[in-house]
Amino acid sequence: MQIERVTPIGRCRASCIGDGPWDFITYVGLDVDKEGIVVAVAEGGPLGEIREYGRIANTAAALNRLLSKLRGEGVRLRFLL
């Protein structure tokens, strides 16, 4: 049986499901306002879940702390504003 799924860039065979490139992308959604930033995170991969991460201050230091927590070995972050 061959597994195939449609992605935004085309079709993806079983080689990219499981331990492929989709597992190393974390999508980060930011809802920015003057006083703070609400953060949501979606893990890559076919079983990735979307969860609310929380609210952080609207400062450069808070964003740097967030990046250091989300960044890992071989993980690529993609931001949605």
The pTM is what? Answer: 0.66
More confident position, 7 or 65: 65
More confident position, 24 or 9: 24
Between CA 33 and CA 18 the distance in angstroms is 36
Q: Could you report the per-residue pLDDT of 14-54, keeping only the tens digit for each?
A: 444 445 554 578 899 999 999 999 999 998 776 778 899 99
pLDDT score for 43? 81
> Could you identify the residue written with the tokens 């597992």?
23
> Could you identify the residue written with the tokens 């190393």?
24
Kindly indicate the confidence band of residue 1, based on its pLDDT and cuts at 50, 70 and 90. very low
Enter the tokens of residue 53. 């991460």
Domain ranges, ordered by start, for the chain: 4-80
